[in-house]
Every structure is written in structure tokens, then in C-alpha cells.
């Protein structure tokens, strides 16, 4: 070692910063990656009066062992109960006192803690959200109080037919895969989970290389970096690369064809669908066009056939879900039980027609226009922008600009949509009904025919 | 008459136009009143990429006779089914094809038809929304189809405990007043209503002097005026003044103290409240401060006492409603039946404490900050701006600027809040429970004590 090099302090790894996109309305999207693996992405929006702040943590229900089912969501509750420097009431008061919103949500693959405030409160919001995520106490009495709150939340889910249906559909279509399990856990696992289990899950999982801080609105990147560095001071740990996006477990069992959840409701609620495409599949844009044409608006096939022409349902639509390695494409309709057979028959007719190449050029054109327009319309508020950039950085190998998404939609051809429909809609279908039925034998025959 | 005046054409009454407000973020709010009574209010927001268009019609369920209960909402459904120049599918396709949203809602005192689109589609949106409101065909087969859709909507309401609770609470607290009736009508009135009744109600009620066209976003007032004039060409009728805001019926019976709606649900849902202040009461700001301190956020009394400290509910909050001549102030909580007595006791303790002057200066200060911050935060998207200006012009004697609303909040003193609490919370209380109870005798005693 030469004297010259020996006299230099050890080189501190540099923060890497780059502009990802010049976005809608003159905004600038910038990403910094800290040596310790933390990523900070901002969208500075000229003229925005508010700011949305999110901390995205790559921890969700797919990370849980069976005994810990619901632990990710449990944590989301407990972290707001107090940190080493702020009590739960102090956290709530800080944000309430300026009319802001502080909340969080948990999904299968990640958890997001966020706040929405006036731009002049953005520094405070970054400080509070990071404090909650990094420095929660997870005290035993708080774990017990939140246990009761979560059991109430499970009871609410059970009283909501559409929420019950969504969980039951995921269980059937994703049978054998971790995303088949409800994010909220079960009465059994929540009742049994100890403070030690919740705190251990927190300690093991909540590390900077699994986190993305995302801020959009009336802020600039340099000031956000300063606030984040202050909030993470002493908590960044050793240098290491950011955790790459999940690849998924790949485990999948056989699709469950049909199930009933008995409820004493006025309406019967039907969901039927197939496994479809994971998040990064190149055919995702074609699938979104297909889903939009089938049930994405007032001019979609389902809305016209079931509601507008026959008045059989108030609510009917199609949708997709997408995870690292799996996805679904499904149809929902809610109707009075005497109409369930007719509704199921109409849904089947549309699915079979699309599988057989029945989509028209006009439908594809309209669906593409709808997707492109709603993508741009959806970017007007800082909250949507914060979600788009944060979720993308956490879950995808690279940033996706709005222009790229628009180009992908524009490039979809009727032939691609037909091919995707033929491939997916001829697969095994899974259906669930929530309503006044004791079992699958009670259902009209047309429901069983849907999944035959 | 002199030759000079005789040669002039009859003087056409002038459009009166004035700037009402220089709003948030450099926006300009302008109102034009046409000689025929139609009002057009716009908020031009520099840099906004989207536009929201609303037609507010001063027709709602309080205008209905008992046999026509639900007619206002029925109309809202039927008008989208087709106009003399466009079929229902054509209307849906126009807006869907650009990714826009077209919808409507009906309340007790007004109905609003609206669209949200990219700014370059604003002319189309004004044309379509005005066409739907002014020129619908109201064909008999469409009335029959929508009858089925509305019956599905009633079934959905019956399956939703919180919606059921809201309608039942209004029935009790406003007993004897037209706002006690549900906007949606009943199975009996909807089943019996004829095409002639619906069309007659439309013809008699939907006149320009009862309408306010409201547009906010990337538009300017002069271009909106041009689009509106084109859409209303030949439909403005005779000169007449705009319909003044409602004054209300003033009819009120005795408050119903307690009711149960039996449902086989996991949770019991409690709503308890009092009659409070109409829309224009000078004490409204003090009431909002009271409501916010009691149950307006994570730091509110109810959230802390019931959820954060005891885990007795997932959802609990306070809120107000306000109409021309009446209003309500109420508390909601959903909990498992075994906790209903304890929750009712805690709610009672808080209501009694506030009635007795228990609010603190710190609570008032925080609630004022929360109201002011959320008012400004709520104005970021064109949709909220469109709603604020349209609803205000229709329902109030004058425009209310954001600055005026903020000044009213700032001026509230702890003494005023205490006085409002003492005046309102010592009045007759009305409570409803939705849940697994056959009648009021099945309820825990603490619920009856709430209304004693």
C-alpha cells in the first residue's frame, strides 16, 4: 500500500442518482439509490399544492409461514401505535392537526405506509412515516388491542359479500400458491399470534434494502433526500444492493372449479375467472384491452348485455390481478338469486365468444382509447403519482414511463387480443358464488356449466 | 314612441357575468346568469390537464309525492338510456373511448350529472352531459329495464349494513320531514311507477332555471359559455329568474328514539345522533369543529377511546348532514355484538362530556387545523372544484369563497363549540342498530340509555 492511498479515508460508496422521466405536466421523476440499498424516488410536480409521501416495504402475506398468516397486515396496524420517540396519539395529532391523512395498506407482495399533506408539511410527513416504519415499539398491550381491531376487520370482511367473494375467488383460482391466502389472515392465526412473533417478523423483514421511499407533489428531489437521510440517520446499516423484485414461488396446484359461501343476502354474487398473466408478461397490455372490452365501462359487453339491455344486475365488470409469477382475469356480477342462472349463461356466452375470436376491431380501438385516456387522467393527483412511481420501483426491474405504457397500449392489435383471449379463456375456469345457497348443488345449472 | 326607438329590435336581456373568486393555485371562478335563468359557473385552473363537467339540477327526493318516492333517482337512471339524437350505447361509447367517466348521483335536494375527461375533450363532455339532461327520450322499455336495475340497487342497499343504517337513522332523526325518506324509493313505489309518471316528472321539473352547469379544470369561461349555448340552443325557453335556493318544508315530527333493523351479520352497527343545523346556520363552522374533535380522525375522541385504547371497533366516526332547513349530527360504530353495550356506554360518556362543556382548547385548535388543511387539500382535483362551485351556486344564496370558509373556521372559539354542544347534544337523541337483534328489547341496556 502506498503512502498516498493509505492517507485517504476509506471511500464511502456514492449515492447513485438519475432522472427517470420528464413526466406529465412538466414533472420530473428522479431516483436515488443509497449504498445501503434504500431507494428514494420523487416526482416534483410544478405548482402542486400538496405532497404524498409513501414508504413501500417489500413485505406481504406471501412472505408468511402458515402460523404467521396475517402477520404483515398485523404489523401495519401495530406500527402506528407508537415509536421510541412518539406515542400513538402524538403521531395521529401531528398529521390530523394540519388536515393531513396518514394510513397504510397491505397486499400480498408489499406494504405501503403513506401520508398526504399540504406541500409545506412534506418534511413533517416524511419524518413521521419513516419513524413509524423504522422505529415502532411493538409493545405487548398494543399488539393485544390491535388483535381485537383486526378481528373486527375480519368480521367486516365476512359481512361484505364482495370482499368475501374476492378472497374466496383467489383461494380457488390460485389454489396451491401463496397469493391464494387472504392478506388479513384468519381468526385462528390472529388470535394465536404473540407479541414476540409480530416483533420478530418486523425486525427480520423491515430492512432498508427492501424499502422504497416515494414522494410526489410540490417538493424537489434534493430536499426530499435531506429529509430521508435525517429520518434514516443511524438506521441504514451496511452497504448492500437493493433487494431485486420478487420472482414468485412458482408453486401452483389445480384450479378449484366451483365453490359457494353461504350468506343470507338479498343478492347472489358471482365471480368467475381464469389464471392469466404475471405483472411483467409482454401480453399484459393485450389482456387489459380484452378485460376493458369485456367489462371495463358503460360500453363494455357485460355492462351492455347484463345491465343495459336486460336490467339483471346493478354492478357487473371484468378485471385483472397481477403478481410476480401469477395473475387472474375475472368477471363479477351481483344479481337477485332468481336471475343467477340467466346471468351465468350470459357471462359464459361472452367468455366463449371472446375465446373463439369474437372481438371486433371497433371494440379493440375503443378499449385502447379508454385505457390510454384513463391512464393520463389518473395521474392528476400527487397520490396516484406517488403510488405509480413507488410501486414500480419496488416491483419491477426498471422504471416504466407513462410514454412507454401509452406506447404499449397503442401497439396492441386485434390479433394479439384474440390470441390472448384464445389462450387464457380456454383454460380451467374457477367460479365462486356468495349468497343464499347451502352448497354447489343448490346453484342453477348454468353456474356449473360456466366451469365445465 | 319615437321613430328612433321604434326602429330598434326588441332588447334582448343580457347575460350577467362576474368573477366570483380568484381561487387556489391561480384559478379564476366566473359565474354567468342567462336571461332564461340558467347559471353557468366555471373554475379555470391554469395547467390542469383534465376537466370535470357537471349539470346540477335542483330536483331531488324531497320534491316527490309519496306515490312518486324514488322518481328523482329513477330519472337519473333513465336519462342515460338515450336522447333524441344519441342512443344509450352511443353516449357510453363517446365517453369510454377517451377514457372518461360519465355518471350521476341523486340526493334529497338535487341531482348531478357529470363527466370527467381530458381537457381537450371538455367540449364533447359538455355536449353529452347537457344532451342527457335536456333531451332524453324516456322510452317505456328503458323505464322497465331500469326498474329491474333499481330493484337490484335496493337489494344491494339491504345487503350493506352501513347503507341500511344510514337510511334507518335518517328515518328516525328526521321523522315527519321529507328528508326522512330514502332517495332510492321503495320496492313498492319503484315496482308501480309508470313510464308516464317518470316522463311527466322529468318534463315538469327539469327546466333551465333549476339548473347550474359547472365546469372546472383546463378550460376558460368564454369557451364553456359557447359550448353550453350550443347545447341549450332552442331549449332555454322564456326569460325568467333562476330558481332561488330551497327554504325547506319546515315540517318535522317527533324524533324516533330507537329502532332495530335485524340482519344476520357478524357485526352490530350503531348510529346515534341528534337534529342539528341547516346548511346556512351561522353556527355550522362551530358544529364542524365539534364533530371533528369527537370523531373526525385518528386523534379524535371516538377513535382513541373506542379503537386505539380498547380495540372495540375497526370503524368509528362522527359526521354531520345539512339540508335547507334541517341537519343531523351523529356517531357511527361497528363492533361485534358482545361489545355493543360497552361501545354504547363509551359513546354516551363522550356525548355527555361534550354537552357538559368538556371540550378543551387543544381539541378545538387541532380540529380547526384539520378542517382548514383538509379543505385546501380537497381542492386539488378539478372534480372537487366542480362540485364545490356547482353545489354552492345551486343551494346557497351566494358564492362562498375558500377564503371565507377558512376565515369562518379560524374564527371559531372554544366558547362557541361548547355552546353548540350544549344546545344540540342535550336534545332528543335517535339511535338505530343493524345486526342480529329481533327488536329493541334484544339490545344491551346501554343502547337504550343512550337515548334516554
What is the full per-residue pLDDT of chain B (452 aa) written as tens digits?
344 445 566 666 799 999 999 977 789 999 999 999 999 999 999 888 999 999 999 999 999 999 999 999 999 999 999 999 999 999 999 999 999 999 999 999 999 999 999 999 999 999 999 999 999 999 999 999 999 999 999 999 999 999 999 999 999 999 999 999 999 999 999 999 999 999 999 999 999 999 999 999 999 999 999 999 999 999 999 999 999 999 987 789 999 999 999 999 999 999 999 999 999 999 999 999 999 999 999 999 999 999 999 999 999 999 999 999 999 999 999 999 999 999 999 999 999 999 999 999 999 999 999 999 999 999 888 999 999 999 999 999 889 999 999 999 999 999 999 999 999 999 999 999 999 999 999 999 999 999 98
* Arithmetic mean of pLDDT, A336-350: 98
In this complex, do B375 and A25 lie within 8 Å of one another by their Cβ atoms?
no
Locus of grid cell 343502547: B447
Nearest to A298 among B96, B117, B309 (CB): B96
- Asked if residues B398 and B261 have their Cβ atoms less than 8 Å apart, the reply is no
Q: Which of A21, A36, A43, A76 is catalytic?
A: A76
> Integer distance in angstroms from the first to the last C-alpha of chain B?
75
A92–chain B Cβ distance below 8 A for any pair: yes
pLDDT digits (tens, 9 = 90+) for A160-204: 999 999 999 999 999 999 999 999 999 999 999 999 999 999 999
A429–chain B Cβ distance below 8 A for any pair: no
CA of B373 to nearest chain A CA: how many angstroms apart? 4
Domain B13-231 has CATH 2.40.50.100: no
Sheet arrangement for strand B101-106: B16-22, B28-33, B39-44, B211-217, B50-57, B111-118, B101-106
Domain A258-450 CATH (choose: 1.10.10.10, 3.40.630.30, 3.40.190.10, 3.30.830.10):
3.30.830.10
In this complex, do B372 and A99 lie within 8 Å of one another by their Cβ atoms?
yes
Nearest CA in chain B to A24: B49
In this complex, do A96 and B159 lie within 8 Å of one another by their Cβ atoms?
no
**Residue B90 annotated to the active site:** no
Q: What is the ipTM of this complex?
A: 0.93
- Asked if residues B434 and B168 have their Cβ atoms less than 8 Å apart, the reply is yes
Quick one: which of B150, B151, B149, B191 has its CA closest to A311?
A: B149
C-alpha cell at A254: 389445480
pLDDT digits (tens, 9 = 90+) for A10-27: 666 799 999 999 977 789
Which letter does DSSP use for residue B10 in this model? Answer: P
- Tell me the residues of chain A between 103 and 142 that have a Cβ less than 8 Å away from chain B: 116-118, 121
Q: Which of A27, A101, A113, A155 to mutate to test the interface with B (most CBs of B within 10 A)?
A: A155
Sequence ranges of chain B with CATH classification 3.30.830.10: 13-231, 258-450
Quick one: which of A337, A324, A327 has its CA closest to A273?
A: A327
A295–chain B Cβ distance below 8 A for any pair: no
In this complex, do B92 and A50 lie within 8 Å of one another by their Cβ atoms?
no
Residues recorded for chain A: 452
CA of A178 to nearest chain B CA: how many angstroms apart? 26
Q: What is the mean pLDDT of chain B?
A: 95
Which letter does DSSP use for residue B37 in this model? Answer: S
CA of B199 to nearest chain A CA: how many angstroms apart? 19
Q: How far apart are CA A342 and CA A305, in angstroms?
A: 11
- Asked if residues B228 and B403 have their Cβ atoms less than 8 Å apart, the reply is no
Partner residues linked to A333 by β-bridges: A270, A316
User: What pLDDT band is residue A47 in, cutting at 50, 70 and 90?
Assistant: confident
In this complex, do A96 and B366 lie within 8 Å of one another by their Cβ atoms?
yes
Q: Which of B36, B76, B209, B350 is catalytic?
A: B76
Amino acid at each position: 500500500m502506498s503512502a498516498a492511498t493509505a492517507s485517504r479515508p476509506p471511500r464511502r460508496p456514492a449515492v447513485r442518482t438519475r432522472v427517470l422521466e420528464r413526466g406529465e405536466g412538466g414533472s420530473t421523476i428522479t431516483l436515488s439509490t443509497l449504498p445501503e440499498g434504500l431507494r428514494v424516488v420523487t416526482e416534483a410536480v410544478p405548482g402542486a399544492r400538496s405532497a404524498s409521501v409513501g414508504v413501500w416495504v417489500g413485505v406481504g402475506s406471501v412472505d408468511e409461514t402458515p402460523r404467521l398468516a396475517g402477520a404483515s397486515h398485523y404489523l401495519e396496524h401495530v406500527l402506528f401505535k407508537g415509536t421510541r420517540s412518539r406515542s400513538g396519539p402524538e403521531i395521529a395529532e401531528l398529521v390530523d392537526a394540519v388536515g393531513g391523512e396518514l394510513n397504510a395498506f397491505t397486499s400480498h407482495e408489499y406494504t405501503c405506509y403513506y401520508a398526504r399533506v399540504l406541500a409545506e408539511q412534506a418534511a413533517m410527513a416524511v419524518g413521521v412515516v419513516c419513524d413509524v416504519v423504522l422505529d415502532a415499539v411493538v409493545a405487548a398491550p398494543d399488539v393485544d388491542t390491535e388483535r381485537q381491531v383486526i378481528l373486527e376487520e375480519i368480521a367486516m370482511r365476512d359481512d361484505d359479500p364482495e370482499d368475501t367473494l374476492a378472497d374466496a375467488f383467489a383461494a380457488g383460482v390460485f389454489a396451491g400458491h401463496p397469493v391464494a391466502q387472504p392478506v388479513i389472515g384468519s381468526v385462528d392465526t390472529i388470535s394465536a399470534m404473540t407479541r414476540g412473533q409480530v416483533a420478530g417478523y418486523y425486525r427480520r423483514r423491515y430492512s432498508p434494502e427492501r424499502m422504497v421511499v416515494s414522494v410526489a407533489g410540490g417538493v424537489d428531489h434534493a430536499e426530499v433526500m435531506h429529509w430521508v437521510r435525517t429520518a434514516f440517520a443511524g438506521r441504514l446499516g451496511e452497504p448492500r444492493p437493493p433487494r431485486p423484485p420478487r420472482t414468485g414461488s412458482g408453486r401452483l396446484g389445480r384450479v378449484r372449479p366451483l365453490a359457494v359461501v353461504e350468506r343470507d343476502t338479498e343478492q347472489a354474487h358471482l365471480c368467475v375467472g381464469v389464471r392469466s398473466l404475471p405483472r411483467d408478461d409482454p401480453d399484459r397490455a393485450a389482456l387489459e384491452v380484452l378485460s376493458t372490452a369485456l367489462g371495463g365501462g358503460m360500453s363494455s359487453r357485460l355492462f351492455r348485455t347484463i345491465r343495459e339491455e336486460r336490467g339483471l344486475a346493478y354492478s357487473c365488470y371484468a378485471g385483472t390481478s397481477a403478481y410476480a409469477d401469477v395473475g387472474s382475469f375475472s368477471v363479477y356480477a351481483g344479481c337477485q338469486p332468481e336471475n343467477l342462472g340467466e346471468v351465468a349463461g350470459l357471462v359464459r356466452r361472452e367468455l366463449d365468444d371472446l375465446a373463439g375470436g369474437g372481438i371486433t376491431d371497433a371494440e379493440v380501438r375503443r378499449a385502447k382509447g379508454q385505457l390510454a385516456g384513463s391512464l393520463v387522467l389518473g395521474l392528476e393527483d400527487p397520490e396516484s403519482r406517488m403510488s405509480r412511481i413507488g410501486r414500480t420501483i419496488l416491483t419491477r426491474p426498471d422504471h416504466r414511463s407513462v410514454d412507454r405504457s401509452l406506447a404499449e397500449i397503442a401497439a396492441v392489435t386485434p390479433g394479439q387480443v384474440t390470441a390472448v383471449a384464445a389462450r387464457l379463456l380456454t383454460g380451467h375456469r374457477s367460479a365462486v358464488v356468495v349468497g343464499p345457497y347451502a352448497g354447489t348443488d343448490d346453484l342453477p345449472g348454468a353456474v356449473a356449466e360456466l366451469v365445465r
